[in-house]
């Protein structure tokens, strides 16, 4: 899903940057919004599943990185736009979207993390774990 989101966002940004009028640019940016919307929840979910037992720390670190990007990106794009042009600065976001798509192909699948079953369990507890693991799959 994130790979498709990155590719769709790149398409929308390219449309917005190359649009000859405001309506085309707005349409492209609307496409970007729809494309990027599932990326943050998916990323936070992946972060939480990537560190069993430390999921809170993983989500907090991912959130901090996201907020840092949220603060620094407009400043960076503004400085690039001032030095060159707004089209070029926004065009760099096309590369960022393609990077999201490329990195998403390297992410682990959406399989749930492995759960541990205690070494000594009663029959009822073992059945409960087996059912719970099947429901997660």
Print pLDDT tens along the chain (137 aa): 888 999 999 999 999 999 999 999 999 999 999 999 988 888 888 888 888 889 999 999 999 998 998 999 999 999 999 999 998 998 889 998 999 889 888 876 544 444 544 555 455 555 545 544 555 55
Which backbone phi and psi does 51 adopt, to 5 degrees?
-135, 75
At 105 the pLDDT is 83
Rounded Cα distance between 81 and 87, Å, is 8
Q: Pinpoint the alpha helices (H) of 84-115.
A: 86-104
For residue 24, being part of any structural domain is answered with yes
Give the whole-angstrom CA distance, residue 100 versus residue 28.
18
| Two structure tokens written together for 72 | 């620094």
Does some domain include residue 93? Answer: yes
* Assigned domain for 6 exists: yes
Q: 116 in a domain, yes or no? A: no
Q: How many domains does the chain have?
A: 1
Does residue 41 form part of some domain?
yes
pLDDT at 114: 47
Kindly state whether residue 128 falls inside one of the protein's structural domains: no
In this structure, is residue 131 part of a structural domain?
Answer: no
Is 15 part of any domain?
A: yes
94, 13 contact by CB (below 8 A): yes
Q: What is the pTM of this model?
A: 0.68
Domain with 89, as residue range(s), is: 2-106
């Amino acid at each position: 899903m994130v790979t498709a989101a990155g590719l769709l966002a790149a398409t929308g940004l390219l449309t917005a940057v190359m649009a000859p009028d405001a309506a085309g640019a707005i349409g492209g940016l609307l496409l970007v919004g729809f494309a990027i919307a599932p990326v943050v929840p998916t990323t936070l979910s992946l972060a939480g599943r990537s560190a069993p037992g430390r999921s809170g720390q993983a989500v907090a670190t991912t959130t901090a990185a996201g907020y840092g990007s949220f603060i620094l990106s407009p400043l960076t794009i503004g400085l690039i736009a001032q030095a060159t042009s707004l089209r070029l600065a926004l065009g760099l976001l096309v590369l960022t979207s393609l990077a999201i798509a490329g990195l998403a192909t390297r992410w682990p699948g959406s399989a749930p993390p492995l759960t541990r079953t205690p070494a000594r369990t009663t029959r009822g507890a073992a059945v409960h774990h087996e059912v719970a693991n099947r429901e997660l799959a």
